[in-house]
Amino acid sequence: MGAIKLDDISTKAPGNLEKDKVKQQNLELAEELNELQNLLYAESKHSVLVIIQGMDASGKDGAIRKVFGNLNPQGVRVESYKAPTARELSHDFLWRIHRDTPAKGMIQVFNRSQYEDVLITRVHKMIDDETAVKRMKAINDFENLLKEHNNTSILKFYLHISKEEQAKRLQERLDDKTKQWKYNEADFTEAKLWKLYMKAYEDCFHTCNKIPWTIVPSDNNWYKEHIIATTLRDTLKSLKMRYPGLKKE
């Protein structure tokens, strides 16, 4: 597979899709996911880790609300990674991540993830390229551990939006009183580093591809949700799960 070039990938839904039809399919997918999750929880043999990455305002929160908001909350957890605390910084960068990985039967969603430690840190030159490469290798080993030793299916999504769409959404946060709490001046500063971020992301897709990434065109929320829900559905179905019978005592 050639290297992923984000510039070459559309951020929009394919033109031949009808929004209303896809939205209807999303409702059906929600039902299907509900049943599959119940099975995952009942069987408790596998676990699922969903990693959601993307630039500011790429729609990470919304994707989580829409795709995972209809599942049984007892079987889903969401962790949002912010700047590490002093205690977290006094450990290796995967320490706080490992704590939150899914137990068997569970779906764990990461809103941002271990990848921030080779993205924001790299773009801001808090780490050099050599360290970034070492970290990406550690991430590969870590993901393999989860896969091999806890039957964890790892789904990695990059929410791909255009610079223009981002600018529009950040402005909305300023204008809408119910969204102002999400506004952060630093987001505009980060937006200026767009090219550096794209480069750092492309390097992740290339170096951490043993478990592949899904690039999700995310200018249209309905399409973004559709891709994530479909991928999750297909993954859960591939596990060939069954309801356990009565326990033998």
| Per-position x/- string for 120-139, each x denoting binding to a copy of itself as judged by CB under 8 A, each - no binding | --------------------
Site for a copy of itself in 21-50 (CB under 8 A): 38, 42-43
Please say whether the beta carbons of 189 and 108 come within 8 A. Answer: no
Nearer to a copy of itself, 14 or 245 (CB): 245
Nearer to a copy of itself, 4 or 40 (CB): 40
100 binds a copy of itself (CB under 8 A): no
Nearer to a copy of itself, 41 or 213 (CB): 41
247 binds a copy of itself (CB under 8 A): yes
Nearer to a copy of itself, 77 or 206 (CB): 77
77 binds a copy of itself (CB under 8 A): yes
Nearer to a copy of itself, 31 or 128 (CB): 31
Q: Are strands 47-54 and 213-217 parallel, antiparallel or unpaired?
A: unpaired
What are the E-state strand segments in the chain? 47-54, 76-80, 107-111, 152-160, 213-217
**Sign of the four-CA dihedral 125, 131, 134, 140:** negative
65 binds a copy of itself (CB under 8 A): yes
Task: Report how far residue 216's alpha carbon sits from residue 67's, in angstroms, rounded to the nearest whole number.
Answer: 14
Task: Report which of 63, 33, 26, 218 is spatially closest to residue 80, judged by C-alpha positions.
Answer: 63
Strand partners, 153: 48
Element (H, E) at 120: helix 120-123
Interface ranges with a copy of itself (CB under 8 A): 38, 42-43, 61, 64-65, 68-74, 76-78, 80, 109, 111, 174, 177-178, 180-185, 243-247, 249
